Structure 1
Amino acid sequence: MRRSEFERAVAAEFGPRASALMSDLVLPTLGDRTAREALDAGIPPREIWLALCEETDVPLDRRYGAGRLDPKRR
C-alpha cells in the first residue's frame, strides 16, 4: 500500500473524522504512536492502515484493497 492509497483509504473509511483519528488516536500495536507519528517514523502505510482498522473495528471486508484506484479503461 502506497501512502496515497493509505490516505484515500482513511478518508473513505472515516470521512470527516479522518484527520482527528490520524492525529489523536494512539495505536498500541505501533508502539503507542498515532497514525501520523507512525508515518513520520517510517512505518509502512499498510501496517498503519491495519492497526487503524483493528483499533476502530473496521469490518474485515473493508480492510483489503482499500485506497486503490479503479484501473483505467482503454
Structure 2
Amino acid sequence: MRHTEFWSRMEDALGAGYARAWARQFVMGELGGRTAQEALDDGVSPKEVWAAVWKTLELPARER
C-alpha cells in the first residue's frame, strides 16, 4: 500500500476534513503508543498503520 492509498482510505473512513487531524491526534497501542502520523513519519509501512487504524475504528472487513 502506498501513502496515497492510505490517505484515501482514511478520508473514506473519517471524511476529508477529519482524517488528517485524527491521524495526528489519536494514539494507538497497536502502533507502540504513537499516532498514525507519527508511525508513518517513523517509517512504519502504510499497510501496517492502516491495519491498526482499521482495528481501532472497528471498520467492516471489506475495508481491510
Output the TM-score relative to the length of structure 2. Answer: 0.90
Q: Which runs of 5+ in 1 are unaligned?
A: 64-74
| Identity percentage of aligned residues | 38
| CA RMSD, Structure 1 to Structure 2 (Å) | 0.9
1:67 corresponds to: none
Q: Which runs of 5+ in 2 are unaligned?
A: none
Aligned-pair CA distance for 1:58: 0.7
**Superposed CA offset, 1:12-43 (max 9, x none):** 11103212210111110111000000000000
Alignment of 1:10-49 (within 5 A): 10-15=10-15, 16-49=17-50
Query: Larger helix proportion, structure 1 or 2?
Result: 2
Distance 2:22 2:55 in 1: 13
Deviating 4+ runs (over 3 angstroms):
none
Where relative contact order (Cα < 8 A, 6+ residues apart) is larger, the structure is 1
- Find out whether 1:58 has 2:59 as its counterpart: yes
Number of residues of Structure 1 aligned to a counterpart in Structure 2:
63
